[in-house]
Amino acid sequence: MKKIFLLLILLFFSYAASVGIAENAMYAYVGNKSAVLASLKYPPYKTIVLVNGEYKETVKERVAGLAEYGITIKELSPALASSTKDSLIIICSAAMPREFLTNNETFSNNRVVYFGKMNLVLDNDGMKEENWSENFTKPIVVLDGVDTLLGKDEQYFLFGVYEVEGMKEGTGTIYVSAKEAKNGRLLIGKEITDGYFKPLPVYIDGKNEIYLWESTELSFSVPRADGALFFSLEKDGKKMYEKKLGFVTSPKAFVERLSFNESGVYVAKVYDRLNLLGAVLLNVKGVDVEYVGKKDVNQIFNITVNSEPVKSGFAYVSVGGGVERRLPVVDGILVVPAKLKKGDNIFRIKYLNFEKEINIQSEVSSVWDVYITYGIPGLLLIVAAFTYGRIAKKPTYRIITHEAAEELLGRKRVTAEDIKEVFGYVERRFGWRNVPLTVRDVSWGIKETIAEGMDVSEGNVEEILKKLEKKGVVEGYAGYYQLKGAGDIKTNVLKRMIRDMLVEKGIEFKEEGDVFKTEEWRIGPPRAKIGKNEIIVVFDEKEKREFMRSLGDLEPKIRLKMGNGVVRVVSFDELREIL
């Protein structure tokens, strides 16, 4: 029986996932299980303390489901709660208990959430008006009210309240940024594993993100080792390579040159018989190209790096040994304008140092293959490559601006309704909704629809838009135009500018209403509800001052959040520097 019991323990530990630390990331290998990994600024806790107050029962009902994750929920008086340790403390009263203001260790030993008033203190004899927040500098989570707290989902209490630096959901080896955070939480189903880390003593220097055809050189210095010193590489939780470096009794430098046969995530480790001394996560990127299908005369390909779509870039494409053309790749999509001839069609596609030939067979005959040079409307924010020009030189459309304009060649007519249709067409092709367009965007839309592929003079298009603006059909701001009634033009333009900047800088984001959510921040124009890790963006310093004045009674609370670094109010130019 003892042997069986021991075997079960060993089996449990062999399948239990854990959080690892490297100097540039936190990581975990979870096999084929779906998991969430987060690196956190503050240490996460498995105990929640509800401080007695008028909202306790309401809050208790809200967080009760966390018990399924192994979270212990306690109810304590302010005096007992202020002396507790290693807990997430939620103050369930409209005023700050005096005990929390007099105990300096409460906020450093716990994570404290408060949604009451910033000018009320709770004493033994009741509430008193006192502006306790004016010079308050201790770490605290301040929410706008109990409704805000009750609106938080389970992930907020499991991750968000501890200030997420990076979060990733996936299978296999998942990893997240750990520039400053040294606390990790791994969630597999409803099983929580936490990691608390100290900085590793040995720094491993070298390029940690390479492509499969590249090599990297890692260098590190070890002052001394307890017993023999080792260097190893791990992938998907398995040791792929180990090298004994010998005994180190005085400072010694090492260099390891590495090349790889497989793409994926590797962890390079330096350790002795007792301790992990240094670690760095290596992302070895592999490229692949797949044929997706065709649409009209366009052949669609998908280009990925480590199975993720390429955000933006360029590929070089030739067909049947013909002229090689440079074409854009956006969100993994490569569009090659080429009609297929009957039989084999060999597409040679090069992306970076990766090259692949794909044979597309067709039963349809075509007189010629068409290659078209390209253009990108906007600031790289497109979902496909769009075509300009043709093999032969083309006449240029010059659209004259009046109610029913005439085109110089072919006598095509353009009306206000036509331009409205162009706005709708561009939005559908870009996957947008109520997003202001530039003159170039609209020009491209006219070319693709009304002008049947011929170039359009942007100057004339701008004249049309200005005439339509005077008639109330469109409205413009800062060089952008939208249809009248599509929402506040200033807010929409600011969103477009923020979106374009994020794409330009290659920052991944998810759009949630008026906010763009990145790994670290929620970025967007001024809004009613301001939580944590928020960047409020305005056009200039004047609007920044106007926004702060518009907050009214909320201004002290927002300034407290700004002081704690969880809220930033910036101009658009300042946002560029931050990102």
The domain that holds 450 is classified in CATH as: 1.10.10.10
Residue 141's contacts (CB-CB under 8 Å, 6 or more residues apart) are 111, 112, 113, 114, 161, 532
The reply to whether 253 and 213 lie within a common domain is yes
The reply to whether 434 and 506 lie within a common domain is no
Backbone dihedral angles phi then psi of residue 155, each to the nearest 5 degrees: -65, -30
The reply to whether 52 and 151 lie within a common domain is yes
The reply to whether 343 and 409 lie within a common domain is no
Count structural domains, the chain.
5
pLDDT the model gives residue 455: 67
User: What is the C-alpha separation between 388 and 157, in angstroms, rounded?
Assistant: 51
Domain, as residue range, for 473: 405-487
The reply to whether 67 and 152 lie within a common domain is yes
- Give domain status of residue 184, yes or no: no
**Residues of the chain below pLDDT 50:** 1-15, 365-411
The reply to whether 366 and 463 lie within a common domain is no
Among candidate residues 250, 285, 320, the one where a domain is terminated: 285
H, E, C per residue of 179-218: CCCCEEEEEECCEEEEEECCCCCCCCECCCEEECCCEEEE
Among candidate residues 285, 306, 339, the one where a domain is terminated: 285
CA 80 to chain centre: 40
- Give domain status of residue 304, yes or no: yes
- Give domain status of residue 280, yes or no: yes
For the chain, the distance separating the N- and C-terminal CA atoms, rounded to the nearest angstrom, is: 60
- Give domain status of residue 128, yes or no: yes
Token pair belonging to 323: 């002229």
Backbone dihedral angles phi then psi of residue 537, each to the nearest 5 degrees: -110, 130
Among candidate residues 250, 268, 285, the one where a domain is terminated: 285
The reply to whether 353 and 412 lie within a common domain is no
User: What is the C-alpha separation between 165 and 184, in angstroms, rounded?
Assistant: 10
pLDDT the model gives residue 413: 63
- Give domain status of residue 181, yes or no: no
The reply to whether 481 and 509 lie within a common domain is no
User: What is the C-alpha separation between 42 and 207, in angstroms, rounded?
Assistant: 29
The reply to whether 147 and 56 lie within a common domain is yes
- Give domain status of residue 152, yes or no: yes
User: What is the C-alpha separation between 297 and 302, in angstroms, rounded?
Assistant: 17
3-state class percentages of the chain: helix first, strand second, coil last, to nearest 5:
25, 40, 40
The reply to whether 53 and 118 lie within a common domain is yes
DSSP character at residue 46: S
The CATH number of the domain holding residue 298 is 2.60.40
- Give domain status of residue 36, yes or no: no
pLDDT the model gives residue 255: 95
The reply to whether 247 and 332 lie within a common domain is no
Partners of 362 in the beta sheet?
343
The CATH number of the domain holding residue 222 is 2.60.40.1930
DSSP character string of 509-537: -EEETTEEE-SS-EEES--S---SSEEEE
pLDDT the model gives residue 7: 30
User: What is the C-alpha separation between 217 and 469, in angstroms, rounded?
Assistant: 59
| pTM for the structure as a whole | 0.56
- 134 burial type by CB count under 10 A (0-12 exposed, 13-18 middle, 19+ buried): exposed
User: What is the C-alpha separation between 117 and 482, in angstroms, rounded?
Assistant: 41
The overall average pLDDT reported for the chain is 83
- Give domain status of residue 18, yes or no: no
The reply to whether 60 and 150 lie within a common domain is yes
DSSP character string of 387-412: E---SS----B-B--STTEEBTTT--
The CATH number of the domain holding residue 55 is 3.40.50
pLDDT the model gives residue 277: 95
